[in-house]
Amino acid sequence: MRILYLDLDALNPSHLSCYGYPRRTSPTIDAIASDGLRCTNLYCSDAPCLPSRTAFYQGRFGIQTGVVGHGGTAADPKREGAGRWFRSGYEEESLPRKLQQAGFHTAMVSPFGQRHAAHHFYAGYNEVHNTGGCGAESAEEVTPVLNDWLDRRAAEDSWYLHVNFWDIHTEYRVPLDYGDPFKDVPLPPHFTQERLDRHKQRPGPHSALDLGMYGDGRPDVYPRNPARLNTMADVKQWVDGYDTAIRYVDDCVAVIVEKLKAAGVYDDTVIVISADHGENQGHLGIYGEHGTADHATCNIPFIVRWPGVTKPTVDDGLHYHLDWAPTLLELLGEDEHTPDIWDGQSFADTLRHGTGAGRDELVLSQCCHVCQRSVRFDDGDHRWLYIRTYHDGFHPFPKHMLFDLAADPLEEDNLAEQHPAVVREGAFRLAEWHAAQMHKMTRFASDSVDPLWTVLREGGPMHARVHPPGQPGSLDAFERYLKRLEDTGRADGAAGLRERYAEEIATHPASAAR
């Protein structure tokens, strides 16, 4: 048994041909999906990068591991305290460690542990090949390392290989000599002038006029990216850059497939294709970022081709990405070794038989760019997404948002005022989930702390702070952004942020010194 896990960073499934995208971005992935299970409603529990990958391999929600942020206390796992034994639970209860115990040689081609100083990400691996670019490397740097490993070990039995490709992540950096496969292909119809005009009025990091997060993008460094989205030609350049990155990585997957076939093991290799998170492409007014607890950020592709097990199946059930850990152990006949501490729920029957229900609801978390929790649940023909915002990350988000993804997959129409009963239902579901998580901490954790509130206490999400401890100069950066909003025709947005963050501004050390 061989298992290849392809981690394609920032891949929004709605931009894959096999998920219905009108452009042919993914012929190789499409072919793999046609011979296996394709999940349409699988979400990362915690977004973006560091919280997602921690939850995936630890099999636990970020509220339990403590890893929900990109900086501060909540970027590190919770201490295990007096209950820590000779070897850490983050090692012994990780999915890769369970695979080792099941007889697998575990290997990884990824710089991710170094990128986020997340060395628990490497727990349970026999070998790690750090490609050295901290996530900035393109596929031409990853592929030679991967090819070398496959040439040496592909024909061996019982291996699990995790591979990261980064090209789909902003900034879009596919080499120019690759060409422009979508140059003459029109934009999908939902990219309209009217939508762009609305988005150009919005403030916030990675908005249409702030592709560089709080300023212009850098087309001098990344020529496939426009500086900002002023015109529909800019939008086309932007979307072409993202879709070209997907097609470029798809070509890299084709090389892997040929390597496995040449080694004579393709028909005996499980291939899983997924991502750490998706990517907002205008959703909630955000472009090229994964900074919210919404469908665009948290819905991820999940494709499993398991020879002898899967048949061509589309699964619409609700699943977390961390559900894969107990699913994999069950399919390997190792489910008796599933740790009690894991939060995942196996959907092995769906892979075996195309049957089996998903979860009743999913709770999604984001504390790196905003602080939000959301609840994804279905009710008849409605596919509800309720979002509760605790820190808006300098976006014009109200406290409560509600979207019906069945009618509005682009998240354009906040229905919270029209459907107060559904908002209350979402808030109730969130409260019940939170109570269950806090109760679980009394059994397994060394504290009873919700790390979302730790993020708020330490100044807010790392990528959107007015008043972080020890960084008094951040007020100048915030005020520069307010000035930028005023200079780019978004004075109302600047005034709203100034009013919303008046207390943080007034109590900032830099304000007292003036």
What pLDDT digit, counting tens, does each position of 305-358 carry? 999 999 999 999 999 999 999 999 999 999 999 999 999 999 999 999 988 789
* 322, two tokens: 């961390």
CB 42 within 8 A of CB 299: yes
For residue 222, with 0-12 CB atoms within 10 Å meaning exposed, 13-18 middle and 19 or more buried, which class applies? middle
Residue 266 has what pLDDT?
A: 98
The residue among 324, 340, 356 that closes a domain is 356
**Residue 276 within a domain:** yes
Whether 339 is covered by a domain: the verdict is yes
> How many residues can be counted in the chain?
514
In a domain, 432, yes or no: no
For residues 486 and 351, membership in a common domain is answered with no
Q: Indicate whether 363 belongs to any domain.
A: no
Q: Tell whether the model's pLDDT for residue 93 goes beyond 60.
A: yes
Q: Could you tell me if residue 27 is inside a domain?
A: yes
User: Hey, which residues does 303 pair with through a beta bridge?
Assistant: 38, 273
Residue 459, in any domain of the structure: no
How high is the pLDDT of residue 277? 98
d(CA 276, CA 288): 15
Amino acid at 271: I
> For residue 39, what is the domain's CATH number?
3.40.720.10
Segment 47-78, tens digit of pLDDT:
999 999 999 999 999 999 999 999 999 999 99
% residues pLDDT > 90 (the chain)? 93
Q: Could you tell me which residues are beta bridge partners of residue 287?
A: 281
Alpha-carbon gap, residue 61 to 84, rounded angstroms: 19
Calpha distance 27→37 (Å, rounded): 16
The mean of the pLDDT values for the chain is: 95
* Domain interval for residue 497: 465-512
For the cut 60, the answer to whether the pLDDT of residue 194 exceeds it is yes
Domain count, the chain: 2
- Evaluate whether residue 59 is within a structural domain: yes
For residue 402, the cross-strand partners are: 386
Angle at alpha carbon of residue 410, lines to 179 and 400, rounded to 5°: 140
E strands, 22-135, where?
Answer: 37-39, 42-43, 46-47, 105-109, 127-129
- Is 332 in the same domain as 204? yes
Looking at 336, 356, 376, the residue that finishes a domain is: 356
> Is residue 395 classed exposed, middle or buried when 0-12, 13-18 and 19+ CB atoms within 10 A define those classes?
buried
pLDDT band at 476; cut points 50, 70, 90: confident
Average pLDDT over residues 251-256: 98
What does the pLDDT look like over 408-466, one tens digit per residue?
999 999 999 999 999 999 999 999 999 999 999 999 999 999 999 999 999 999 999 88
pLDDT of 472 above 50: no
Cβ-based neighbour number of residue 333 at 10 Å: 9
Q: Cβ(154)–Cβ(148) under 8 Å?
A: no
Q: Is residue 173 part of a domain?
A: yes
Is pLDDT of 286 > 60?
yes
On whether both 188 and 45 belong to a single domain, the answer is yes
56-81 burial: b if 16+ Cβ within 10 Å, else e: bbbbbbbbbbbbbbbbbebbbbbeee
Alpha carbon 340 to its chain's center: 25
CA angle at residue 310 from 308 to 315, to 5 degrees? Answer: 175
pLDDT in tens, 374-392: 999 999 999 999 999 999 9
Query: φ, ψ for residue 300 (rounded to 5)?
Result: -130, 155
| 498-505 average pLDDT score | 91
Same domain? For 121 and 239 the reply is yes
- Together in a domain, 101 and 229: yes
CA 16 remoteness from chain centre: 16
